[in-house]
Chains A and B, each alone.
Chain A
Amino acid sequence: MGINAFKRALWAFHVNTGSCNGCDIEIIAALTPRYDAERFGIKLVGSPRHADVLLVTGPVTRQMAPALKRIYEQMADPKAVIVVGNCGISGGVFHESYNLVGPVDNIIPVDVYVPGCAARPEAIIYGVVKAWEKLEKVYGAEGG
């Protein structure tokens, strides 16, 4: 597979919409020396405007829903959204509540789902790779 859409490294932005921190620490664990996703150029950045991929954790609380939408809109195309963890996919253990409005795909379109409670670092890296492949398929033909 030739890389056309991204001629440079893939950057990710992480947003927590009310998760328990379990998946969040695994996302960082994926970046630190044991798993070292940074060697592939996958890096967490501090602003959605710099990011190619959005990592979302958590079942989306009432307060975070508008924020999540706004972050998604701030990202430049081409972009992909990855949901990390069961609660963002279907609610998981938080499947019914008065202060949750999720799951994530109820708020924004999602490309890749990484299940797990909590998702393992290997799974998260695999999810990012899948998102990368999808972006290549969709935008690669256009020559980036």
Chain B
Amino acid sequence: MKATDVLEHIKDRLGDAVHEAYMQVRKVGVSKRERYHIWVKIDRKKIRDAVNCLAEIQPYPHLCVISGYDDGDNVVLVYHFVINYETKKEAISVNFSVHLPKNDLCIDTITDLIPGALITEREKIEMLGVDFIGLEDKRRVFLPDDFPEGVYPWRRDEKGPEKMLHKLYEVGDRE
């Protein structure tokens, strides 16, 4: 499936849930071969549908990772997929972004559709304070157990890690 068809397929399947969609084309090498990145902003309730619609193109779409950042009133999660892998130079990167309002930070888990999403979902819980509905294993991954509750390192608001900062070059009173 060509990149433009993939984009049409997504728009077709998700309908009104698609808020914004565009395609980024990068030309690489001497041959100036085109490489496609599709960016789609969707409704957060439709994330599972988005995964299913990719699975129609290729079973087991490859989830690279879920990125996330603090965008003022919202926390934004970006789901990065690659489809058409196992081909020769035909793969396409598809990225779904969802906006979660800070007073209601939750989204459906996709671990039952893609078991490989477990670690990355757990990481979003501890780093951004996002809740994944239906996720059983919500333990921390990277932060230590004694790390204070309610501090989320990637947040830019009052829940950020500012209080915990330690400047390694400023340690004084050395013997």
**CB within 8 Å of B: which residues of A?**
59, 61-63, 90-91, 94-103, 105-106, 109
Contact = CB atoms under 8 A, between A and B. Distances in A.
Q: How many B residues touch the partner, as a band?
A: 10 to 19
Given A105-B174, A109-B175, A96 B143 contact: no
Interface of B: 143-144, 146-147, 151, 153, 161, 164-169, 171, 174-175
Contacts of A95: 167-169
Nearest to B175: A109
Contact of A91 (B146, B164, B168): B168
Nearest to A63: B144
B144 A90 contact: no
A100 to B, nearest CB: 6
A62 B147 contact: yes
Nearest to B172: A106
A99 B148 CA distance: 11
Contacts of B175: 109
Nearest to B144: A63
Contacts of B153: 98-99
Contacts of B168: 59, 90-91, 94-97, 100, 102-103, 106
A56 to B, nearest CB: 14
A91 B169 contact: yes
A64 B166 CA distance: 15
A96 B165 contact: yes
A106 B174 CA distance: 7
24 contacts: A59-B168, A62-B147, A90-B168, A91-B167, A91-B168, A91-B169, A94-B168, A96-B166, A96-B167, A96-B168, A96-B169, A97-B165, A98-B151, A98-B161, A98-B165, A99-B143, A99-B147, A99-B164, A100-B168, A101-B166, A103-B168, A105-B171, A106-B168, A106-B171
